[in-house]
Chains A and B, each alone.
Chain A
Amino acid sequence: MSVVLDQVVKDYPLGSSMVRALHSISLRIEEGEFTTIAGPSGCGKSTLLNLIGCMDVATEGHVSIEGKETGLLTDKEQTHLRLNTLGFIFQSFNLVPVLSVFQNVELPLLLKGGMTAAQRAERVNALLDQVGLGAKAKNRSHELSGGQRQRVAIARALVTLPKIVLADEPTANLDSETGKTIIELMRSLNEKQKTTFIFSSHDPKVIEHARRIVRLQDGRVIEDVRK
């Protein structure tokens, strides 16, 4: 089991009261699954992914990643977990604008340390080839199209060989055609490397690519199907 959520509740403060974004969610996601969190806007997809991604902690209940209860970790340990076990793909790509494509992908390896420049270059170049951007390694991110940027982001998320990759609406800022190729890329990487993918979306065309669909509504799981 790579991800386990047990009766997770998440409240956000709103003025003086609280807004409950997630109501007692229990969920298990196995290694190598290709899962989408689906649901309308405001249903709690991002909130759920943030909890899994160690970027936020649950108000109640337990979240464990690879057997580690995230709520009990220090900030440093959470960061460590994000660096080594998790990979992130963002809706707005979030590349570091001042770095080149190659440097963006290399960055997590530098944060991790323990590799020579040659080893890093090999890994980065191999990944860039896989996402079809081998030729753009030296470009800066603003010189790329949205789809290309998201591929760089995918390469960056995968460069540390994480067990789980999280993606919050990875295709929302892309046209449907490009979105489709991105999902297909993710799917193929999932199959080849057995990396667990969890991504959110409200787009039915994207959702249908998933092997498992967890549907949320108003902070509750209303459907959980595997194909």
Chain B
Amino acid sequence: MLEELKVLLLVAVRNIALHKVKSLVVGGILFSGSFLVVFGLSFLGSIENTMSQSIIGSVAGHLQVYSADAKDDLALFGSGFFGRDDLGEIPKFEQVREEILKHPNVASIVPMSFENAIIGRGNLLDELFERFRKTVRSGSKAEIAAMSESIRQNLRTVRTDLENEIKIAGNPDDIKKQIADVDLALSDSFWSKISTDPESLMIFLESKIAPLSGEKEPLYLRYMGTHPELFSNEFKKFKIIEGENIPAGERGILISKRIYETQLKNIVARGFDNLYKGIVVQDKSIVTDISLKTFATDLPKQYLEILVQLTGENRSLTLAELQKFMKTQETSLEKVLQDFLTVDDKNFRERFDFFYKVIVPKIRLYSFNTGETINLRSYTRSGFLKTVPLKIYGLYLFEGLESSDLAGAFNFVDLVSYRELYGRMSDEGQKELEEIRSKIPIKSVENAANLEDSLFGAEAQIETRAEGPQTAAVQAKPAAALEFRRSQSGRYDPAELKTGLTINAAIILKNPRRIASTRAEIEELLKQAKLNLRVVDWKQASGTLGQLVTVIRAVLLIAVAIILIVAMAIINNAIMMTTIERTREIGTLRAIGAQRAFILRMFFIETMTIGLLASAAGSLLAVTLLSILNVKGIAAPSDFLSFIFGGPKLYPSVSAGAAVFAPVAVSLLALIFTLYPAFMASRISPAAAMQDRE
């Protein structure tokens, strides 16, 4: 038997060498198949690992718990729909905390609740007119004249916009009136009043003209209410890079560095940043890259965002420096600025440097700075717009995920302020409210809106009542009618962070390997405690993102399956061809006494030899490549992928299982594909030995 095997092996090896084309085709396919499987599975395994670390370490924890009454599934990275997911609520976090901490594998539980805030950004003409007021008060005649001209220029743009609007408007008469106002503001007689009655001129501009430019797009800020100290202890990727964490017992907000850079930075500076990344870092060209081209064409259109910030002597200083830099005599700052912002591949680097060195120190680079207070506005559950002033304590990022929009997509507030914006306050707050109510005579307490109005009138923190489903919530929950509180930045008892309302909570495990069993056990614990809650793992909690690897894996498997089907056809064909070529040889073997089974074995051993050799080589190449990449790393080609890669570079590791399993599986498959041709060969008649060669 062993001797026969030796001969078969010898025949196999010699035949592989003899039928080079067939061997190359079959071997090549098996080689690539094995390479693909080993590389693909290892790569996916690595991605799954890094992505899980990104998700777990930045926000999800190992498990998430939330109300079983939730109508939507928890999707920590957004459900893809704008607006608010209905995730129910956990009214008494302390109960949940107590039960869950009973489980021996639970290290910690961190409350977290997400919400969107709206931050208004004023309007450009407002800013311009405000500056104009200052100039009129203290500026020189020349400055006032220059500004008047720039205002008139802006008004011409407004007029063109209105004329375009009139064509599609349902109420052209209103717009006609607005155009008349603008025409008046453009007229020389109007501007002649500047020396006689500047106040009435400015009031006209501020009251009639300013509203026409429209609000700048408001900023939507996603925020998470949590226990700031606990969060920073439990989520290792979390890092404060400017300022400090929100101190215990204080109200405040931490802004994501990513949001700070991509949304709160001056738009012209952002344009410069984007162009810098494209032209200098990635070595692309404005001419060929479409997104860079867009940035470049937008840049000069945004000159007002710089201009309105240049006041007083900064204006003349900037003009002088720009004239020198641009080598021009042009005296209109608008024009020089627009020229300056018209960049191309060649002049970009110089202008970028000039911008940051000369212009940036004279303007406000970010909408907010650390230490300042911003008004966070958000809709309460009962449908009122509520504003809470919060101090910006600092900027944070998730280490390794600096450039990912996913990881830095939200800001942090203390849970107490969250609850206030949510419209639910502590017992203490309730008491305070009762006191206010008892002191102030109230005409009607049935309706919350009336109550708010009667208490605070136009200055109430509650500004607008939203339309839609939230209104229904008011009627459904009469208790919500009492929701309001004078917004304050006062202190609170840090213990409030561990009690009361939260929407969901992250559970950190001691041994993450036991996620599945721990999840089931916690669910059981909660059930016994009669708490109606849902417990999901980080994958489920991260919504579609968590399914990504599963999807990629499915795609890979389908691709491999398709390749295998094609490979089957090719291998089948190749072996059939050589079988025909070898008819005489096989006939001879049969004639001198080889049984059909011997012919079958001969084919199988041949396939196994080439299969194992080629697929082992494929696996080896994949392992080698992965080992190199493990040291060198694969740079994330996009910001999104940097999240998946767990940082700017992915260091894939070899999946030992795949490296061993793939060659065996691929060879066995090849063996299956050999079955038919081998069977055909075993049917060759011994008389075929007599066939002549030609």
Contacts and interface: CB of A to CB of B under 8 A. Distances in A.
A90 B591 CA distance: 10
B25 interface: no
B4 A94 contact: no
A99 B594 CA distance: 16
A199 B468 CA distance: 104
A138 to B, nearest CB: 13
A90 B4 contact: no
A84 B11 contact: no
B263 to A, nearest CB: 72
B501 to A, nearest CB: 81
Interface stretch (A34-42, A105-113, A128-136, A183-191): A105-113
Interface in A63-109: 75-76, 79-80, 82-84, 87-88, 90-92, 94, 96-99, 103, 106-108
A111 B3 contact: no
Given A82-B593, A83-B592, A98-B14, A111 B690 contact: no
Interface residues of A, number: 36
B593 A83 contact: yes
A111 B588 contact: no
A53 interface: yes
Contact of B687 (A56, A76, A94, A108): A56
B11 A99 contact: yes
A33 interface: no
A88 B14 contact: no
A96 B4 CA distance: 15
Given A55-B685, A99-B10, A50 B690 contact: yes
Nearest to A47: B687
Contacts of A144: none
A94 B595 contact: no
Interface string B581-594: 00011001111111
A97 B18 contact: yes
Interface string A1-29: 00000000000000000000000000000
A110 B601 CA distance: 14
Interface in B563-600: 584-585, 588-596, 598
Interface in B1-43: 1, 3-4, 7, 10-11, 14-15, 18
Contact of B593 (A96, A97, A98, A111): A111
Given A92-B692, A98-B14, A99-B10, A107 B687 contact: no
Contacts of B686: 53-55, 79, 82
Interface in A142-197: 156-157, 160, 168
Contacts of A112: 593
B690 A168 contact: yes
Given A55-B685, A56-B687, A79 B590 contact: yes
A51 to B, nearest CB: 10
Given A79-B595, A99-B11, A110 B690 contact: no
Contacts of A82: 591-593, 686
B693 interface: yes
Contacts of A98: 10-11, 14-15, 18
Q: Give the interface SS of chain B, mostly helix, strand, loop or mixed.
A: helix
Nearest to A75: B596
Contacts of B4: 110-111, 113
B690 A96 contact: no
B480 interface: no
Contacts of A53: 591, 686
Interface residues of B, number: 28
A196 to B, nearest CB: 17
Given A55-B686, A96-B585, A80 B693 contact: no
A217 interface: no
A46 interface: yes
Given A98-B10, A98-B18, A110-B3, A55 B591 contact: yes
Contacts of B593: 79-80, 82-84, 108, 111-112, 160
A79 B685 CA distance: 11
A107 B592 contact: yes
Nearest to B683: A75
Given A55-B591, A96-B589, A90 B10 contact: no
B689 interface: yes
A106 B592 CA distance: 12
Residue among B18, B593, B685, B692 with most chain A CB within 10 A: B593
Contact of B689 (A79, A84, A94): A94
B20 to A, nearest CB: 13
A79 B692 contact: no
B592 A92 contact: no
Contacts of A156: 592
Given A98-B11, A98-B18, A99-B14, A117 B3 contact: yes
Nearest to B597: A76
Nearest to B594: A111
23 contacts: A55-B686, A79-B590, A79-B593, A79-B595, A80-B593, A82-B593, A83-B594, A91-B692, A94-B591, A96-B589, A97-B18, A98-B11, A99-B7, A103-B10, A110-B4, A111-B4, A111-B593, A111-B594, A111-B595, A111-B598, A113-B1, A156-B592, A168-B690
Given A55-B689, A79-B593, A110-B4, 4 more contacts: A87-B592, A88-B591, A96-B11, A97-B18
Interface of B: 1, 3-4, 7, 10-11, 14-15, 18, 584-585, 588-596, 598, 685-687, 689-690, 692-693
Interface of A: 46, 50, 53-56, 75-76, 79-80, 82-84, 87-88, 90-92, 94, 96-99, 103, 106-108, 110-113, 117, 156-157, 160, 168
